[in-house]
Amino acid sequence: MRRLLLIVTVIVSVFLLFSCGKRPPAQKPAKASVADEKSGFSIMADAPLWDLADGKLTLKETLQLGEKVDLVGQSAKVTQGGKERDFLRIRRDSGKTGWARADFVVSRSILAVTTEEAVVYSAPKNTAATTTVIPPMTVLAIHSDSGGETFIRVSAYDPAARTLLREVFLRNEGVSAKPDDVQSIILLTLAGASKNAKQKEAFLTSAIKDHPGSAFLTQLTEARTALKAAPAPEKAMEEYSAALAAGESNVSVRDTPDEKTGKVVAMLSSGQRVDVVGKTKENYTVEDRTAPWYRIREPAGWVHGSSLVEAP
């Protein structure tokens, strides 16, 4: 009996040992993005980065919203738009340096985002509420020395109102410094600024897949769904007259100038002549071949220029 009990004890111990060994290590929550006195966050999308020579500014490139940069340690006062402004010399991760407005780059801060509409306070007290409201999904910088449990001191740029809010106060509820929340909204902002549909979708897909813990998954998913459902922008047309011919067999004639959405309404045989009555102003790539779309009279429809040649 004792021997049986010993065997059972050993089996249970081995089972528990292997079970514990198979458990994945506990995942530590990702840390918030923090800037110290030698670094800072850009709180404005496409914040200008300038070259500065002889007191004159020349636009060089732009900073991404939430981008962390190194502060080189130089500052300057430059007159811009009739006002004297403070500028800081910064260095990007790429190694490129330039001058950025000091009020767009916040050091000693934590990168965060509003999860709901936030009332702005002029001071850290309930009686100091203003009429200004920061919209949800606004990326901002929380000043590290803001202190207090109820109010936080922040700097933010509201692109809709084109308003810079420097060192104002918010109640700390409704603001998140979780990396998934912040980075997903930065990607959403990039998607909104892009004019390329594929790039938009790539940003939104990354926001959803790479930041699954985001509090904004519903909004991100809706934005991607709306993008896929949106009709393709109309192509600019112009009048054009020519006599062309099909340069290959089984050339598709479509009801609209688009290889994906255009329905095939007829086929052209090799050498078949067609009268062209219009074309798109821009070229479009179909199967690695770039050309305008041509509108033909008979059979009525559109043919990609890569399938047409001059009529003999």
Mean pLDDT, to the nearest integer, of 199-216? Answer: 96
Cis peptide before 135 (omega within 30 of 0): no
For the chain, domains (ranges, CATH) are 34-108 (2.30.30.40), 114-174 (no CATH), 179-229 (no CATH), 237-310 (2.30.30.170)
CB 34 within 8 A of CB 66: no
Residue 10, pLDDT > 50, answer: no
The Cα 125–Cα 120 span in angstroms is 11
| pLDDT band, very low/low/confident/very high, at 196 (cuts 50, 70, 90) | confident
| pLDDT band, very low/low/confident/very high, at 2 (cuts 50, 70, 90) | very low
| pLDDT band, very low/low/confident/very high, at 229 (cuts 50, 70, 90) | confident
| pLDDT band, very low/low/confident/very high, at 195 (cuts 50, 70, 90) | confident
CB 187 within 8 A of CB 203: yes
Query: Residue 236 is inside which H or E element, if any?
Result: none
| pLDDT band, very low/low/confident/very high, at 232 (cuts 50, 70, 90) | low
| Nearest CA among 120, 187, 156, 165 for reference residue 41 | 156
Question: Which pLDDT score is estimated for 17?
Answer: 38
Residue 281, pLDDT > 80, answer: yes
CA angle, residues 286, 189, 208, in degrees to nearest 5: 75
Q: Tokens in use for 154? A: 């922040």
Beta strands at 293-296 and 163-171: parallel, antiparallel or unpaired: unpaired
Mean pLDDT, to the nearest integer, of 181-204? Answer: 93
CB 112 within 8 A of CB 139: yes
Residue 160, pLDDT > 90, answer: no
Mean pLDDT, to the nearest integer, of 143-171? Answer: 90
Mean pLDDT, to the nearest integer, of 205-228? Answer: 95
| pLDDT band, very low/low/confident/very high, at 161 (cuts 50, 70, 90) | confident
Question: Which pLDDT score is estimated for 29?
Answer: 57
The Cα 176–Cα 132 span in angstroms is 20
Question: Which pLDDT score is estimated for 28?
Answer: 52
The Cα 122–Cα 129 span in angstroms is 7
Question: Which pLDDT score is estimated for 162?
Answer: 86
Residue 13, pLDDT > 50, answer: no
Choose from 106-120, 215-229, 274-288 the range with maximum mean pLDDT: 106-120
